Chain A
Amino acid sequence: MSLDGLQRTMFARVTAGDRALAPGHPLDELERLALDTDDVGALWQLGVHPVLLNSYCRLIGLRRDQYRALLEAVAPPADRALEVPWRNS
């Protein structure tokens, strides 16, 4: 795995505003495939930082409802289990 290379590649593309910018870092097969196919769910599962993923989705033209659906397909929101004071007040 080369999460660092994957994220650097995505960051470079976002910064340049160029979704086709060639990867400047080594990627493994899964990472390259996820980028080549705009597989947002796979990028999430590979561990891409969510703030970076958000920017990348904007770069590749996905609307929020589109990428939410893609993410929910691979990572359904967890049940709320943690106690927080604002829900008890």
Chain B
Amino acid sequence: MAQLVMAACSSHAPMMLAARDSAPEAQRVAFFEALARLRTEIHTLDVTAMVVVSNEHFTNFFLDNFPQLCVGIGESCFGPVEPWLGVPQRQWPGRPVLAESLLGSLVHGGVDAAFSSRLSLDHGIVSVAAELMGERDIPVVPIIQNCAVTPLSPLARAVEVGRVLRDAIEAAPTDDRVALIGAGGLSHWVGPPRVGDIDEDFDRWVLSHLASGDVDVITALSDAQVNEAGNGAHEIRSWLTVAGAAGAGGAELRGEVLAYEAIHSWITGMGVIRFDLADQGAIR
């Protein structure tokens, strides 16, 4: 059976790669050092597949057909769709056996996920995955969430999806060592007049509650309240899904915030957190 060996989240932003040096050096170094720590751990843990949960930016879906959740089950995914991102465009290998098993377990576990054998990847997944892989080419199972178009799935359901996803990973008939990665958020405005603002108080509040396992405090927020931290803040759903997986089955949820920087040139609150999976074997 597959095993979840890492659960972590990172903000994403196209400018973190396309205009990396536009950030103040101290902020840039702090953020990328946190990702480098995760990259080292991914290698040490011998991760064989990355399940990356991230949001849709009208890359695969438009308003005529927009799922709340979609699992990529293809042999590979093209990406990044943005030729200017600073990452070579290519086919990113998938993990179809793992992906189809996850899909089946999600659906039978009460999560009516859509699926696609032909997803494309944009900065949402590529910017984080590329940094976490380094020179290795680790197969990616993308899970795309709706974090942009109303009606949005409730925050609490994002956590529940994570709980079911944890069971799905551990029921998969492969010997994969899986890193579950959330990529999105934190506060930012994508398109509205406040584009460029960052709500640092929101970001630190979310990170603090995730680190201490107080997920219910976050899921109690209304969409209107989340929107106060920007329409891009709805992407915390990806973080909540990973938190749900890390805290599934009665495990105590604890996380370590590896970095937080409000990087205005990237228009996003840039955070990195890793959840503690140690000593969960006996619980689960």
**Could you tell me the dominant secondary structure of chain A's interface residues?**
helix
How many residue pairs, one in A and one in B, have C-beta atoms under 8 Å apart?
75
Interface residues on B, range: 20 to 34
One digit per residue, 1 when the CB lies within 8 angstroms of any chain A CB and 0 when it does not, for chain B 240-283 equals 00000000000000000000000000010000000000000000
Pairs across A and B, CB under 8 Å, 14 listed: A7-B62, A11-B62, A49-B148, A54-B190, A55-B58, A68-B194, A68-B196, A75-B193, A82-B225, A82-B228, A84-B228, A85-B225, A86-B202, A89-B205
Q: Which residues of B contact A (CB under 8 A)?
A: 57-58, 62-64, 148-149, 189-196, 199, 201-202, 204-206, 217, 221, 224-225, 228-229, 231, 267
A50 partner, pick from B201, B217, B231, B267, beta carbons under 8 A: B231
> Which residues of B have CB within 8 Å of A89?
205
Q: Which of B63, B228, B229 contacts A49 (CB 8 A)?
A: B63
Nearest-CB distance from A42 to chain B (Å)?
14
- Give the interface size bracket for A toward B: 20 to 34
Interface residues of A in 32-84 (CB under 8 A from B): 44, 49-55, 57, 64-65, 67-68, 71-72, 75-77, 80, 82-84
**B22, chain A: closest CB distance, angstroms:** 11
